[in-house]
Structures are given as C-alpha cells and as structure tokens.
Structure 1
C-alpha cells in the first residue's frame, strides 16, 4: 500500500522511485494532479539527464491543472508500492514539481480520509 501525505494546502503527495537507465533508483515526492488527465507522470527536463530514459514520442501538447504545455514522451521506469512499472512519462520545461496523473486510477485505487489522516494508493491487481 502506498501511503501518501497531505501538503500544507491540502495537496496529495506520494513517493515514487525513479529508475534510471543506468544506476540505482532514487526516491522523489510526486504531487497527485487530477487535472493531468492524459498521463501517468510529468516532470521537468532538468531530471532527464540523470535518468537517461528513451524518447518514444516527439512534441505533444498536453493539459495539466496549471494549463497547456508542450511535452516530449519518454519510456520511464518507476517503482510505486514496491512494484516496478514501465510508463510513458511527459517531460517538459518549467514543470514546477513532479506530478502523477489520473491515469494511475486505471490500475490503482485512491483512499482518502483527511480527518483521520488516511491517504493511500493501492494496486487493484498486481501488474
């Protein structure tokens, strides 16, 4: 079970491990952006060099909660809840923080009970 945290303004954060093409995975916090309806993960270009992921699609325009932006799609490997998955990752300039999109809800369920401090993201079935 992936346990998340609540931000100061009620944001929902989960920890992911990014898996570079060469090297050890590293942990990052990711904001749950329900306005990012067309993808799994979005991050700034500054993170790309360390990951050395492969581009799979050229420039596309996408919508996030912060508005429209141009992104390149990369084949990314992440570990969430101890399970490694390969997903398309949107990489763009000026992305203020790494965020996960609502595509995760196709394979995971979100449980939120803020008064009790419960925030989890769980796989519906093992991938």
Structure 2
C-alpha cells in the first residue's frame, strides 16, 4: 500500500519511482487523475532523460486543452515496491506527472478527503 496526500489544490498526490534505462531510480510526485484513462503521462523531456525507449507510433488524444499528439514510451514505474513496465504517454506541453485509471486494474484507490486518508492498495 502506498500512502498519498491531498495537495494544496486538493489533488490526489502520490510519490512514485521511475527506473531509468541506466537503472537509476528517481522519486517523483504524481497526481492521480481519474479523467486520464492511460497508465502514466509525463513530459517528453523527462522520458528522454530517463532513456525510456520510444515506440514508433504516436497517439492523437483529446485532452482538456484540446486535441494533441502524444508519444508512447516503454517505462518502468515502482509502486509499493513492485516494478511495472508500462506504456507511458509523453507530450511537450505536459507540466505534471499523471497517474491514470489503468492502475485501478491492480490497485484499489481509497480517497477520503474529510478523513485525510489517501491510499493505493
């Protein structure tokens, strides 16, 4: 189980780890976004810095800001001590790292704002 916190905006924030191609481990804060149907969304520069392999295909998606093209990378993410190799979307305009609802296939989200409890179990 990983514990998160409600940030100043009231967003669901979790600390997760990325594993780079050189096996370096980088801890980051990610926002759980129930409107995002993928696994993970990051800035292209971050994916490139991590050395994650880019898929030759890109995907056109509809976001709150309009339609955009996202690159697809193969990334390694650590949640609750468990490594997951997942498809990661990357875009030039992405400012926050987002976790999407695909995680709910394996993890249970508990978000009790009034009680101050936020976990992915």
Q: Residue 35 of structure 1 contacts residue 63 of structure 1 at CA under 8 Å; is this kept in 2?
A: no
- Aligned-pair CA distance for 1:45: 1.1
Are 1:17 and 2:17 counterparts? yes
The answer for the alignment partner of 1:35 in structure 2 is 35
Q: Residue 32 of structure 1 contacts residue 99 of structure 1 at CA under 8 Å; is this kept in 2?
A: yes
The answer for the alignment partner of 1:97 in structure 2 is 96
Q: Which runs of 5+ in 1 are unaligned?
A: 123-127
Distance 1:10 1:66, change over 3 A: farther
> After the TM superposition, which segments of 4 or more aligned residues of structure 1 sit over 6 Å from their partners?
none
Q: Which runs of 5+ in 2 are unaligned?
A: none
Q: In 2, Cα distance between the equivalents of 1:32 and 1:67?
A: 20
TM-score normalized by the length of structure 2 = 0.92
TM-score normalized by the length of structure 1 = 0.88
Q: In 1, Cα distance between the equivalents of 2:64 and 2:14?
A: 17
Distance 1:79 1:72, change over 3 A: same
- How many pairs does the alignment contain? 121
Task: Note the aligned Cα RMSD (angstroms).
Answer: 1.4
DSSP-derived class of the 1:8 partner: coil
Q: In 1, Cα distance between the equivalents of 2:70 and 2:41?
A: 9
Q: In 1, Cα distance between the equivalents of 2:117 and 2:56?
A: 37
Q: Residue 43 of structure 2 contacts residue 93 of structure 2 at CA under 8 Å; is this kept in 1?
A: yes
Distance 1:35 1:27, change over 3 A: same
